[in-house]
Amino acid sequence: MPDHDLMQTFPAAPEKMVTLENWRLPPFNRWAYQHVSELVPSAQIWHGVGPAWALPRASMDLGDIAYTDHTGAAATFNQYLDRHETDGICVIHHGEIIAEHYRNGLQAHRPHILMSVSKSITALVIGILVEHGKLDPAAGITHLIPEVAGSAFGDCTLQHLLDMTAGVDFTEDYLADAGPITEYREVSNWKPSSNPANPGDLRSWLCTLKKSGEHGAAFHYVSPCTDLLGWVIERATGRPYAEMVSELLWQPMGAEFDGYVTVDRHGAPRTAGGVCLCLRDLARVGQMMLENGQANGRQVVPQSWVADSRFNGDKAAWAAGESAASNPAGSYRNKWWVMGDGHGAYTGIGVFGQYLWIDPVASLVIAKFASEPLPTDDNVSLDTARCFQAVGQALA
Amino acid sequence: MTVTPTNFQDRPHSAWGFHHVRELHPTAQVWRGAGPVWDLPTQTSDLEDVTFEGADGQSTTLTAMMAEPVHDGLLVLHKGTAVYEAYGNGMRPQDPHILMSTTKSFAGSLAGILAEQGVLDLNADVADLVADLKGTAYGGATVRQVLDMRVGLDYSEDYTDPKCDFAYMDAACGWRPPVEPGAPDNLLDHIRTIRSAPPHGGAFHYVSPTALVMGWVLEAATGETFAELVSRLIWQPMGAEFDGDLALDRCHRSQTEGGLNVTLRDLARFGELHRLGGTANGTRIVPEAWITDIRENGDPDAWDAGTMADIMPGHHYRAMWYTNRSHPHRPMMTMGAFGQTVYADPVAELTIAKLSSFPNAGDELFGEMFRCLQAITDALHGD
């Protein structure tokens, strides 16, 4: 059952109504993150007609696995789930689903927003297209997208976008209620337009972003870079992003459910954060990464792309970047956060508590959906890493 | 050329827009469930050569008709076997297509299921079930009167008049630009503008908001959304092959008058279960008595005195389905603007689903479509 009283009557009382204006923030996100298509237009990511990639099950109680939280106090896996507005968690160990829990009314068949774990999905499609010879990571992108020639992206490469090392004048301030990030929300259909007569669109807006610093020099997390990757995928293939995710990833992987991605007024997908998937399917993506790109008996993502993502992060760019202080050992490659821990763990991370954590040494995947009260919180990030690392230690 | 939320009903935008509604508007998932698909066996036929009078008055064939870029899908089931399945305008088997007012018939069948379960009282005042309707023109109308579109309203639904009352509804749900500044921008506020014209229970009066009321009554009676009801009571037990989706207005109101999107095959399955008297693949979905009531108990006088008798003489309207009572087979059917229909003929053991992007909401192409349906009936049944 939902643990809130939003949208529970017909109609909802005004103060219990989730709207395009309020959906991203608490308490409304508790309902909204599993009903995104009801708020924002979206394109279907079809799972195809084939059978789902079957994952065997084994029961294991992870609840008492202990970690040390950011205050230094002892805590357990169950306490972590309780404290962090968990909507769903699916854990795979050695290819078996050992835990799968839904909370807050989420159901297995209901897609939940990935936020920036969307980026990791988008980059996998890029990796497949690189293998197909349709894209070159080292190439500039203006030959594909001449529209961005005069913007920050005029002289950047695909790899800069993949690694968040493009020098772009943009601040990722999720709680700002004015400035570029609110424009970003408006043009991507995530917020009512403040200028309904001329609401703009995501891709025109991308072309207005200005350069700041040198490309390739430092890690600088700019979500719109990943929306540009969605545009690159569509240009390189001549097909809609949602269809390419379906055809290159979702169908061959053996996804069990359809997913979707939010789109702007012109149909441009928000590939940086608007992908919504069912939890088990997100866990399947993790298992595929663990199996070096193989899923459902076939090579879906190139093995070399998985290895490149895990091992080839630019340490110098990371050290020069904005996130080094929180994890000096880390790096970022192809839209994955590489932890730099002893297990070689890496993860996709989305605001408000979305994770796809992969621990190759423990053969562990943790897919987690949440609707946390804050978009980012260093303490929560620390707790999450420690908790998931403790699970990895326990299962290794 | 960009298809937008407010131009997608116009050619040429509708040729893409009608099977991409979820990319234009907020929609709720209609889950197909985890069960097996109701398998529809296929068999080749010579239906493509069936001839009938085309829109231009000349003889045409099914193949020639389907080559015109206003036909998005046509599926013919004969004795449960798919003997013809074709798509146009780039629509694929997995693409949900807008049903327009065929959505209303889903509300009608759901009402029958819930009435049988004792969840819905057909004699209740709809304003007692949906508090928002108190003080509106719908106050005092019974569920039965709403189901049969016999509510006393002063309302014009003329698709050729961009200033008629319905045009305001089309804008209120965000499917058209505002008719005028300050007009309601959501469906409930539109319903509040509808004028009363007593009494209830008189002539058939086709008013789309009446089907909104019906859908919201179902939601209030069950505490579930219309999308959840279609999933739980029809899509899952029927064995739908694909998820559908339902458009919502900006206040999260279910567009139960015309916002449902489903694939061609699943629409055919929905028709087939009615053709079979309410069962799908052996599973009871809609009470048989409800379907018999639809085909037998529509009021011919209410129809003859109503708003559609001149264009469709000899029919009746019951529980949001049409029945052609002057046809020897008494086929039941749905009709949605721009050419969305499912047609169920129990005598000929025939079900036909048709999805279209006709240039006009009430297009002359409907005439061609009905002649096509009859030609298919004659070819397969031949009485």
Q: For the full predicted model, state whether its pTM sits above 0.90.
A: yes
Cβ B62 vs Cβ B276: under 8 Å? no
CA distance A65 to chain B (A): 33
Cβ B328 vs Cβ B348: under 8 Å? no
Interface ipTM > 0.90: yes
Indicate the residue of A41, A44, A267 with minimum beta-carbon distance to B26. Answer: A41
Say whether residue B22 is in contact with chain A using an 8 A CB cutoff: yes
B-proximal residues of A, 264-323, CB under 8 Å: 265-267
A-proximal residues of B, 156-215, CB under 8 Å: 188
Q: In Å, what is the CA distance from B112 to each residue of B24, B109, B121, B286, B325?
A: 32, 5, 10, 7, 20
Question: What is the set of domains in chain B, with CATH numbers?
Answer: 14-380 (3.40.710.10)
Q: What is the pLDDT of residues A3-50, one digit of tens each?
A: 889 988 777 888 999 999 999 999 999 999 999 999 999 999 999 998
Instruction: Name A389's Cβ contacts closer than 8 Å, sequence gap at least 6.
Output: A67, A339, A341, A343, A345, A359
Please tell me whether the peptide bond between A11 and the residue prior to it is cis, using omega within 30 degrees of 0: yes
Q: Do A258 and B243 touch (CB under 8 A)?
A: yes
CA atoms within 13 A on the CB side of A302: 14
Question: What is the set of domains in chain A, with CATH numbers?
Answer: 14-395 (3.40.710.10)
Q: What is the pLDDT of residues A62-90, one digit of tens each?
A: 999 999 999 999 999 999 999 999 999 99
Q: What is the pLDDT of residues A216-256, one digit of tens each?
A: 999 999 999 999 999 999 999 999 999 999 999 999 999 99
Indicate the residue of A9, A18, A42 with minimum beta-carbon distance to B22. Answer: A42
Tell me how far apart the alpha carbons of residues A174 and A18 are, in angstroms, rounded to a whole number. Answer: 19
Indicate the residue of B27, B188, B253 with minimum beta-carbon distance to A37. Answer: B27
Residue A9, pLDDT score: 77
Say whether residue A52 is in contact with chain B using an 8 A CB cutoff: no
Q: What is the pLDDT of residues B40-97, one digit of tens each?
A: 999 999 999 999 999 999 999 999 999 999 999 999 999 999 999 999 999 999 999 9
Q: What is the mean pLDDT of residues A131-160?
A: 97
Please tell me whether the peptide bond between B199 and the residue prior to it is cis, using omega within 30 degrees of 0: yes
Q: What is the mean pLDDT of residues B21-50?
A: 96
Tell me how far apart the alpha carbons of residues B8 and B18 are, in angstroms, rounded to a whole number. Answer: 7
The residue to which tokens 């960009």 are assigned: B2
Q: How many CB pairs under 8 A join A and B?
A: 65
Q: Do B26 and A38 touch (CB under 8 A)?
A: yes
Q: What is the pLDDT of residues B239-281, one digit of tens each?
A: 999 999 999 998 999 999 999 999 999 999 999 999 999 999 9
Say whether residue B71 is in contact with chain A using an 8 A CB cutoff: no
CA distance A85 to chain B (A): 23
Cβ A137 vs Cβ A305: under 8 Å? no
- pLDDT exceeds 70 at position B129: yes
Cβ B167 vs Cβ B221: under 8 Å? no
Say whether residue A57 is in contact with chain B using an 8 A CB cutoff: no
Tell me how far apart the alpha carbons of residues B156 and B167 are, in angstroms, rounded to a whole number. Answer: 9
Cβ B335 vs Cβ B102: under 8 Å? yes
Q: Kindly identify which residue of chain B lies nearest to residue A42, measuring between CA atoms.
A: B23
Residue A2, pLDDT score: 85
Cβ B163 vs Cβ B180: under 8 Å? no
Tell me how far apart the alpha carbons of residues A4 and A12 are, in angstroms, rounded to a whole number. Answer: 13
Say whether residue A38 is in contact with chain B using an 8 A CB cutoff: yes
Neighbours of B335 (CB within 10 A): 25
Q: What is the pLDDT of residues A240-297, one digit of tens each?
A: 999 999 999 999 999 999 999 999 999 999 999 999 999 999 999 999 999 999 998 8
- pLDDT exceeds 90 at position B186: yes
Q: Do A46 and B94 touch (CB under 8 A)?
A: yes
Cα A388 from chain centroid? 17
Q: In Å, what is the CA distance from B229 to each residue of A35, B265, B276, B286?
A: 16, 20, 21, 13
Say whether residue A46 is in contact with chain B using an 8 A CB cutoff: yes
> For testing the chain A interface, which of B2, B13, B23 should be mutated: the one with the most A CBs within 10 Å?
B23
Q: What is the mean pLDDT of residues B281-286?
A: 96
- For residue B231, the chain A residues in CB contact (below 8 A) are none
Tell me how far apart the alpha carbons of residues B144 and B149 are, in angstroms, rounded to a whole number. Answer: 9
Say whether residue A44 is in contact with chain B using an 8 A CB cutoff: yes
What residue type is assigned to position B30 of the chain?
V
* Predicted confidence band of residue A177 (pLDDT cuts 50, 70, 90): confident
Instruction: Name A185's Cβ contacts closer than 8 Å, sequence gap at least 6.
Output: A24, A191
Q: What is the pLDDT of residues A345-360, one digit of tens each?
A: 999 999 999 999 999 9
Catalytic residues of A, which ones? 116
* Predicted confidence band of residue B382 (pLDDT cuts 50, 70, 90): confident
Helix (H, G, I), strand (E, B) or coil at A378: helix
Phi-psi region of A174 (alpha: psi -120 to 50; beta: other; left: phi over 0): alpha
Comparing CA positions, the residue from B42, B40, B52, B41 lying closest to residue B379 is B52
- pLDDT exceeds 60 at position B126: yes
Say whether residue A263 is in contact with chain B using an 8 A CB cutoff: yes
Neighbours of B224 (CB within 10 A): 16
Residue A8, pLDDT score: 83
The DSSP line for B140-198 is: T-BHHHHHTT---EE----TT-TTSHHHHHHHHTTSS--SSTTS-SSHHHHHHTPEE-S
Q: What is the pLDDT of residues B317-328, one digit of tens each?
A: 999 999 999 999
Cβ A348 vs Cβ A120: under 8 Å? yes
* Predicted confidence band of residue B383 (pLDDT cuts 50, 70, 90): low
Q: Do B26 and A43 touch (CB under 8 A)?
A: no
Cβ B334 vs Cβ B341: under 8 Å? yes
Indicate the residue of B31, B223, B251 with minimum beta-carbon distance to A109. Answer: B31
Tell me how far apart the alpha carbons of residues B311 and B326 are, in angstroms, rounded to a whole number. Answer: 14
Q: What is the mean pLDDT of residues B108-113?
A: 98
CA distance A312 to chain B (A): 37
- For residue B248, the chain A residues in CB contact (below 8 A) are 38
Q: Do B27 and A39 touch (CB under 8 A)?
A: no
Say whether residue B27 is in contact with chain A using an 8 A CB cutoff: yes
